[in-house]
Chains A and B, each alone.
Chain A
Amino acid sequence: MTQPFRLANGGGIDRSRTLRFRFDGRDYEGHPGDTLASALLANGVRLVARSFKFHRPRGIFAAGMEEPSALVRLGAEPNRRATDIALYDGLVASSQHAWPSLTFDLATPIGWLAPLFPAGFYYKIFFRSPALWRQVWEPLLRHMAGLGRAPREPDPVRFDKTHVHCDVLVVGGGPAGLAAALAAGRAGARVIIAEAGGELGGALLRRPGQIEAGWVDTVAAELATLPEIQVLTNTVAFGRYDGNYLLAAERGERNRLWHIRARRVVLASGAIERPLVFPGNDRPGIMLAGAVETYVNRYAVAPGRRAVLLSNNDDAYHAAAALQAAGVAVAAIVDLRAEPGAAAQALVDGVTVYPGHAVVGTSGRRQLRQVTIRSLAGGATRTIACDLLAVSGGWNPVVHLFAHAQGRLRYDETLAAFVPDATDAAIEPVGAARGSFDLAACFAEGAEAGNRAAVACGFAISEITLPEIAASTEAAPAAVWLIPGDHGRKSFVDLHNDVTAADIALAAREGFTAIEHVKRWTTLGMGTDQGKTGNIPGLALLSQALGRAIADTGTTTFRPPFVPVSFGLLAGRERGPFYDPVRQTPMHDWHVTAGAVFEDVGQWKRPRYYPRPGESMDQAVRRECLAARDGVALLDASTLGKIEVSGPDAARFLDRIYVNRWQNLAVGRCRYGVMCRDDGMVFDDGVGTRLATDRFFLTTTTGNAGAVLGWFEEWLQTEWPELDVLCTSLTEEYANATLVGPAARPVLAELAPRLDLAAFPFMTMREADVAGVPARVFRVGFAGELAYEINVPATAGLELWQRLIEAGEPHGITPYGTEAMHVLRAEKGYFIVGQETDGSVTPLDLGIPVAADKDFLGRRSLRRPDTARPDRKQLVGVLPDDPAAVLAEGTQLIADPQSTAMLGHVTSSYFGARIGRGFALALVAGGRARHGESIYAWHDGRIVPAQVCSPIFYDPDGRRRDG
């Protein structure tokens, strides 16, 4: 018979349909409405995991997201909780952390060695001997450690994101949450209700029959008709941040990250049941009482055949009652209290109740076989055969989202739980989440909070009718954190990380008093479950050991995420090519066709070089360099930042920004400019052209285009609002084809017959048609050769480029990339921002003159004692004695091969095609006074001698550049 533990009647599952699934290679059946955990239990699968540290057999402990033990691999995704995976047809899951199998795990002896692994064992053992660590412990730990296996394949799930604003976000679809959503929704507020489970109802699904049947369905139906309400199931709100910004994970058929900005949050996140700490409290078959009740009532599963209940409260008696109603024998109720409530006892029929008793031991290797009980007053023990032990230590409000954004908690002695303290207008906890476990109170608080939130958002109060419920008559719970007796090392506090009561006690003896320290020393609450069941008992045990009030111990910090979320969910579709925008120039397709190798410059794709068949990068770059020096070459410089600065005060503004003057620049002329931050350090450079008295066209480095525009705007808005200046980014409006080399003139002449090239001197601009396109041609360049930067509207960029290539063909025109561009400029000693500069280099360090007769940003800083030092690192050239040597960029430079005293470092280094040797630019202390001196580089594992020289290696008087 399949599903031998499935109940014949009841539950929220759909028996008319069967779902097939596979766990650890065996096939099973379940029904829609099941979780993986409930379906496994229905099939009698009770051993589902091995524990993290000791490889102890573990079963299903809870029925929701708090599950500490039943972690499985779902498809490729590790560490999913079996208890909140909605079952689907074809589901494939497997256990983790056991080898070769769950029932026969070779690492089981680890558990027998448990005394060797006390709290903080990794700090104690592994620090003793480095050799032992390297040879024994590290290899062993690498083999054993880790929880689950990280998948190697891309996540097959497609994740989406939704950004949404709402008036009221209701977290939790239980009685309090439904009442809140209904009240706020009827008032007209825009409401989102996020429920972690697959259906609405919350605690009403665990314990139906307290109110009229169908209430949840009626409410759900009404919520569906209200236009401003969105109901999200299978959605866990897992983080709350400043300004009531929440993140929620929807997993299942839709996998979606919700970014929710809520004006008000009603927190109806319910409560999580606490376990009790007694020897052997971790065997498969030991389960939280609320989970037992849930499996019976919601999933129609008997989690065992013969049960015992261990409780400190009346509420858990409902689990026993549910088991009895389902036909499961309840062998005994062991109550830690001397006087269990009368109403609770009336729920069960003919069961022996042992008041003032405790479970002091359990047995059963792969699942529970019997428990041993004893009176708290001492005396003889008694054994009871059972395969299910339902445990309840009371309930903890789920306060995580309240606490995430600084909400304070308070310890409530009566409830023996931490509850939200000071109220925060932005988030109102209601029902069990604030410690109100009475159902009538949950409904009332939810409705009131829903109305309050709606009114705060400007809506009128609405009327809702709530189910009638008799007031609770439960007796108070008793806080018993540690059952008296001998605990050895088998009384688990944190099932996920195998932290025992003995570990907590040891930490206290070793002097740890702060709960945050104890957490890190013992790993309490550091598992993927973040101690949802174990943390509170753990801190209570610490308080007991230290003789301190629980309130004085306090909790560890609650941080998002409330539940584990996969990286795929956070990434959404922003992965692979969509991770970051890719910017391409108008000529990109031509470069691709030409076989260019690209490099990323910021977000831009720029051709690095254009290899011919069989050519190496070095060969291609050398060929491209020589073409620019001897013939004609073409560079796509469209990525240069371009800013137009206009207005009556444009020149005055630029004079303040740049170290050089602009007011005296004639219209139609260009000038090289450098700008500093106010601390005197070089920020960016480029060429500016005066288009008209009140208009300048400026270029910036490719990577800094946005930052320079922002810099201009910041000073104009904040410091110099009196200046009448407008800045416009034109980076993507213009394509730039730069024609370089002694043979550039005839190529341009053919395409721009009306442009008088003879009367077109260096550092001027002409407007003319080039290839029939209106263009601005700038007689400037970065290679030290005759050069024309031809700017046309971006839409005409590709056409211009193709025409230049055609016109240049008779002259052997050669496209070149950024690598040759770098070599050419370095031969000329031109620095590059971000390569020769790093935020600590002034214009003076680079040998750039600054205007003496005006103020500019950074000028005052150049007089500071540190920036005026003569021994600052200055830009120099470096020639290795071996002409074939090309020093690595970043190489450290020293004055004396016997010393490690550093003089500076290499910033750029290439093989110079024209100068025919390796050469470098470097920043060297007092470098300008060292020209001709020897220097040594630590290169390729040896000391390489070199000479300091001028950074200009080619055409020092600029004749070739001037054409």
Chain B
Amino acid sequence: MLLIPCPWCGERDEIEFHYGGEAHVSRADPAATDDAAWADYLYMRNNPKGVFAERWVHQAGCRRWFNLLRDTVSHRIIAVYKIGEKLPPGSLSAGSHGGDP
């Protein structure tokens, strides 16, 4: 079970959190998006082997959403950062397919 460092509450067990999928997926502009691009926004997500930027919410705690960088192979947590903040520079190694900030 992961020990997740919530940016507001500190380290807590994974059971207090809820997973929110890939981070940095911006909502497409509904007015200016064709069907293919809209479907891509709705349904298509990266699933990399390696470092991945993902969203979590501290559901049974402060109920805040935040971003987290995790290695999907080792489950090592590399960084946490708040919603709206950019991915820490240099945190994605070359060739990985983590979130697109």
Contact = CB atoms under 8 A, between A and B. Distances in A.
A243 B75 contact: yes
Interface in B1-59: 1-3, 13-14, 18, 20, 27-28, 30-31, 33, 35, 38-39, 42-43, 55, 57, 59
B97 interface: no
B10 to A, nearest CB: 12
B65 A678 contact: no
B1 A861 contact: no
A932 interface: no
A561 to B, nearest CB: 15
* B interface secondary structure, majority: mixed
Contacts of B39: 864
Contacts of A717: 64-65, 83
Interface in A834-867: 855, 859-861, 863-865
Contacts of A860: 28, 30, 33, 38
Interface string A79-99: 000000000000000000000
Report the contact-size class of chain A (Cβ under 8 Å from the partner). Answer: 20 to 34
A714 B64 CA distance: 8
Given A717-B65, A855-B31, A865-B35, A242 B1 contact: yes
B38 A713 contact: no
Contacts of B57: 710, 713-714
B84 interface: yes
Given A678-B27, A679-B42, A718-B83, A261 B13 contact: yes
B74 interface: yes
A435 B75 CA distance: 28
B36 to A, nearest CB: 10
B31 A242 contact: no
Interface string A667-687: 000000000001100000000
Nearest to B30: A860
B42 A861 contact: yes
B86 interface: no
Nearest to A245: B1
A721 B35 CA distance: 27
A406 interface: yes
A243 B33 CA distance: 42
Given A243-B3, A710-B57, A721-B84, A864 B31 contact: no
A598 interface: no
A855 B30 contact: yes
Considering residues B20, B27, B55, which has the most beta carbons from chain A within 10 angstroms of its beta carbon?
B27
Interface string A242-273: 11110000000000000001000000000000
Contact of A243 (B2, B59, B63, B64): B2
Nearest to A713: B63
Contacts of A261: 3, 13
Contacts of B1: 241-243, 245
Nearest to A864: B35
A189 B13 CA distance: 21
A718 B13 CA distance: 23
Contacts of B35: 863-865
A305 B39 CA distance: 79
Contacts of B3: 243-245, 261
Nearest to B64: A717
Contacts of A580: none
A719 interface: yes
Nearest to A678: B42
A245 B59 CA distance: 21
Contacts of A855: 30-31
Contacts of B27: 678, 719
A718 B84 CA distance: 8
Nearest to A720: B27
B65 A242 contact: no
A710 B59 contact: yes
B55 A242 contact: no
Contacts of A714: 20, 57, 65
A243 B83 CA distance: 24
A916 to B, nearest CB: 46
Chain B CB within 10 Å, residue with most, of A244, A678, A855: A678
Nearest to B38: A860
A859 B27 CA distance: 13
Nearest to B66: A717
A859 B30 CA distance: 8
A574 to B, nearest CB: 13
Interface string B52-85: 0001010100011100000000110000000110
B51 to A, nearest CB: 16
Nearest to A244: B3
Q: Which of A241, A245, A717, A863 has the most chain B CB atoms closer than 10 A to its own CB?
A: A717
B65 A861 contact: no
A243 B11 CA distance: 11
A707 B37 CA distance: 27
A864 B35 CA distance: 6
A713 B61 CA distance: 13
A5 B59 CA distance: 61
Contacts of B64: 717
Contacts of B65: 713-714, 717-718
A656 to B, nearest CB: 11
B38 A406 contact: no
B14 to A, nearest CB: 8
Contacts of A865: 35
A456 B27 CA distance: 44
Nearest to A679: B42
A679 B30 CA distance: 12
A324 B43 CA distance: 74
Contacts of B84: 721
Given A242-B1, A261-B13, A865-B35, A718 B30 contact: no
Contacts of A241: 1
Nearest to B82: A717
B96 to A, nearest CB: 19
B5 to A, nearest CB: 11
Given A261-B3, A855-B30, A859-B30, A864 B83 contact: no
Contacts of B20: 714
Given A245-B3, A718-B55, A864 B38 contact: yes
A855 B20 CA distance: 24
Contacts of A718: 55, 65, 83
A427 to B, nearest CB: 13
A713 B65 CA distance: 9
A657 to B, nearest CB: 13
A855 B31 CA distance: 9
B42 A242 contact: no
Contacts of B55: 718
A859 B57 CA distance: 26
Nearest to B74: A406
A242 to B, nearest CB: 4
A721 B59 contact: no
Contacts of A721: 83-84
A795 B7 CA distance: 37
Nearest to A865: B35
Contacts of A678: 27, 42
22 contacts: A241-B1, A242-B2, A242-B75, A243-B1, A243-B2, A244-B3, A245-B1, A245-B3, A261-B3, A261-B13, A678-B27, A679-B43, A710-B57, A713-B63, A717-B83, A718-B65, A718-B83, A855-B30, A860-B33, A861-B38, A864-B35, A864-B39
Q: Which 5 A-B pairs have the closest CB atoms?
A: A860-B30, A243-B3, A245-B1, A242-B75, A717-B65
Interface of B: 1-3, 13-14, 18, 20, 27-28, 30-31, 33, 35, 38-39, 42-43, 55, 57, 59, 63-65, 74-75, 83-84
Interface of A: 241-245, 261, 406, 678-679, 710, 713-714, 717-719, 721, 855, 859-861, 863-865
Given A243-B1, A713-B63, A863-B35, 13 more contacts: A242-B75, A243-B2, A243-B14, A245-B3, A261-B3, A261-B13, A679-B42, A710-B59, A713-B57, A855-B30, A855-B31, A860-B30, A860-B33
